[in-house]
Amino acid sequence: MVSKLKFYIDDMLSRGSNSLILWLGIISLMAVIAAAGLVWIFELGPQESFGGLFWDLMMRAVTPWEIEASMGSLPYLLVLLGITLFGIFVLSILISLLSAIIDARVQDVTNGSQPFPFDNHIVILGWSPRLTAIIEELVIANESNKLLRILILSAKPADKLASLIETSFADLKTTKLYCRSRDLCTESSFDNANLRAARQILILGDTSEEIEGSRLKIYLSIRRYLATNNIAETRWPEIIVNVDSRDETDIINMASASKAVTVNVSDIPARLIVETVIQPNLPDIYEEILSFDGNEIYIANSMTELGLGEMPFVAAWSALDHSIPIGFWTHDNRIEIAPDAKAIVGANDRLIVISEDDSTIAAKAASPTDDTPANNTTILKQIDAKNTTAQRVLLIGMSTNHRFIFDRLIHAGTGVKQLTVCLPDNEIGTAMKQDLAQQKTTKAKFIVAKTDSPTDLARLKPDSFDAIIVSHTALPQTGGNDVQTIKSIQILRSLLADNLADTHLIAEMLEGKNRDILAYELDSDFVVSEKIGSKVFAQYIENPVLRHIVDKLICSQTHHIKLYPVKAGKTPLSSSFGAIGRGLLTKQKILIGWSYSSDGSRTSIINPDADSTLPDGYQQLSLMVVEQQ
């Protein structure tokens, strides 16, 4: 008998949750019927009908309530107590069962056992160092909107993915992350990702030495999956592919017939490092403009909708008090960044502006003729045309774009007269020295040393350099990302001691949190490689309409954001921000902000009001401008 009962129980459990709930209901019904029969047969209760008795006991089992002595005899009260306890027991089992079912369903969705039940989501394929910063930017961009769902597929184990998400993100606000462990080059891996209803697919690839080939195979797998699942090509989600070279861009464009969006941000950190040698504080400007927090790039309404009509760009620039026009987008989709002051902005053209919010983009009637030619001439004469702050540069470690940095510092007209390259004392460093030394130049001097050795770094005499660049992004590091750079910076800080304020330190970091560790106690420029690139990626994902603008302004060599030091004249510069900006427009330089020292601290402001003026006693003024190369 016992064995038969066990067989029936095992059979019931094997049938799943629906069977358990059914049997739980049957047992509860039988228990209430038995209790009602007992009370009715022995006339223990006050009810006049069996139906009324059954209903009362059923309600007591479902919703237990107080039992009072006045309700009936002691046997009847004991039946009520028994049915109440039974109801509590059954309800507890039911609640636990339902909770387990819901949790199992959520886990099925998360690990991919069940189809992804949401639409308009972003699918990210691969886990790279850039992913965390991309998602952080998307969280900021989406915090005032409805829930954004992001599905991450990676070859990493499921428990590793869950742990990375838990440790990488503190507050996701209105963004929800899901992860699945999958072979990204197998079509069946996409079966439950609901690609048909996805908003975008971002191909990053899992970090490896063969990542370029891996991304190509992932794209081809995605393409084949969509094509063989009866999804019309016109209804495919947008596919964005991270690429690291021109060759990779070309092959993805050929494979996709130029329908995939390729984004190459690999050389942006290196370009920014070189420009920062000449222009301190530049990384902060890039980070703010590319961020979704603070001032960012917008496309305004048409000139007619702004109430302006057709006019020269200089007049349009003067017509906005709380936003900075940096160019315009014509009605026939031509983009002009840093145009000539006399360029005509048509009535149906749209201004490209830097603004704190799209709600602050408003025009007023304004005339650019308020400033005298003499005042404009004075402003232009005070700008330091050479714009060179470092002639002796020390490069320590090895960046992922080391050759690019070397070439630009030597050949790009930066004003650098002497470049000392200190490479790590290992096979990688020796190979890089041999490679760079093939270029015949008298400007460069090569040294192989231990970049975490106080003795070796002291021999370099760091206090004799105007600027020092530290980067170890191309080297494997024991102890985590950026550890070697942090060590080198701490050694330099000790060696420079009293001369630290006179030496421009530039550190390339992989992770923003490591930058924060050093920035707390060190006044230096930090180029966070993955953060800068990830901000560009976030702009491509969130603002498709701005892609061509971001590409031209940030990713290409045609335009730049620059900081121009202003010579200290006999009298302080008293002109308003708007007046200075109108003066610079004659040289196709778009003023977007300024940076100065006051009361011992450095202040940088992007997009001040047009009527803003500099504080009394300011020093070391630099003007932030957008200009063509």
Report the side by side order of strands in the sheet with 296-302. 296-302, 350-355, 323-329, 335-337
For residues 520 and 603, state if they share a domain. Answer: no
Q: Are residues 230 and 150 in the same domain?
A: yes
Buried b (16+ CB within 10 A) or exposed e, 340-377: ebeebbbeebbbbbbbeeeeebebeebebeebeeebbe
Domain that holds residue 352: 281-368+558-628
Span 212-227, pLDDT tens digits? 899 999 999 999 999 8
Read off the pTM: 0.74
Residue 381 lies in a domain: no
- How much is the pLDDT for 378? 59
Chain-centre distance for alpha carbon 106 = 26
Which is nearest to 326 in space by CA: 585, 613, 586? Answer: 585
Phi and psi at 203, nearest 5°, equal -100, 105
Q: Please tell me the predicted confidence (pLDDT) of residue 460.
A: 93
CATH of the domain at 60: 1.10.287
Residue 317: which residues within 8 A CB-CB, separation 6 or more?
324, 325, 341, 368, 581, 582, 585, 590
Q: Do 499 and 577 share a domain, yes or no?
A: no
Residue 122, pLDDT score: 95
Which of 202, 234, 264 lies at the terminal end of a domain, its last residue? 264
Q: Same structural domain for residues 292 and 400?
A: no
Q: Report how many domains make up the chain.
A: 4
Provide the residue count of the chain. Answer: 629
The answer to whether residue 5 is domain-embedded is no
Using 50, 70 and 90 to split pLDDT, how confident is the model at 13?
Answer: very low
In this prediction, residue 373 carries a pLDDT of 46
**pLDDT tier, 5 (very low <50, low <70, confident <90, very high otherwise):** very low
Looking at 111, 146, 171, which one is the last position of a domain? 111
What average pLDDT does this structure show over 571-577? 77
The pLDDT tens digits for 590-621 are 999 998 888 878 888 999 988 899 888 888 88
pLDDT at 1: 47
- Across the range 521-530, mean pLDDT stands at 72
Q: Are residues 412 and 529 in the same domain?
A: yes
Average pLDDT rounded to a whole number, residues 471-482: 83
Same domain as 107, residue 126: no
Residue 218 is assigned to a structural domain of this protein: yes
Q: What is the pLDDT of residues 316-346, one digit of tens each?
A: 998 988 899 999 999 998 999 999 999 999 9
Same domain, 128 and 107: no
* Each residue's pLDDT tens digit, 382-430: 665 555 567 899 999 999 889 989 998 887 667 788 999 999 999 999 9
The rounded mean pLDDT for the chain is 83
Give the pLDDT confidence score for residue 91 in this predicted structure. 72
pLDDT score, position 388: 53
Indicate if 397 and 524 belong to the same structural domain: yes
Instruction: State the pLDDT confidence band at 9, using cuts at 50, 70 and 90.
Output: very low
Within a domain: 544: no
Of 287 and 315, the one with more pLDDT: 315
